[in-house]
Amino acid sequence: ASQVTVKHGRGPALSSPLGSVIPVTSVDGDRIELSFRMRDGALVQRVANPDGARQTVYRLDPNGNRLSAEITTSSRYFSRALVYQLTFERVESEQVSRAPAGPSSSSR
């Protein structure tokens, strides 16, 4: 089976064979179950523990320029699942260097 690795920001990389469920230890020291599978051309990542689960469905547009991630988080502490979507767009390095640095602040 193919090995899948996903890394978010500064967090650790999560790796698992495609189609397998494996136990891993989270950054907080909790035991979780991790799995990756393919569904309708999308990569589905599932992380679960006794309190709940998070499923992320990754879809890449046909041009390879836009990645969407639909996240569903469920927990015994939530009255219903929380669902949201993030979209990432590839930009040329020239555009990145011209992009504003972010909010500016001034001291008075």
Q: Shortest CA distance to 8 belongs to which of 88, 74, 95, 96?
A: 88
Residue 102 pLDDT exceeds 60: no
Res 108: pLDDT: 42
What tokens were used for 103? 């909010």
Own/partner pairs for 4-7, CB < 8 Å, 24+ apart? 4/36, 4/43, 4/45, 6/36, 6/45, 6/58
**In the CATH scheme, what is the homologous superfamily, with its name and number, of domain 3-91?**
Calycin beta-barrel core domain (2.40.128.20)
Residue 106 pLDDT exceeds 50: no
Give the residue extent of every domain in the chain: 3-91
Comparing 15-29, 31-45, 92-106, the range with the smallest average pLDDT is: 92-106
Instruction: Tell me the one-letter amino acid at 77.
Output: Y
Integer CA distances (angstroms), 52 to 14, 48, 84, in order: 18, 6, 16
The pTM of the full predicted model, rounded to 2 decimals, is 0.78
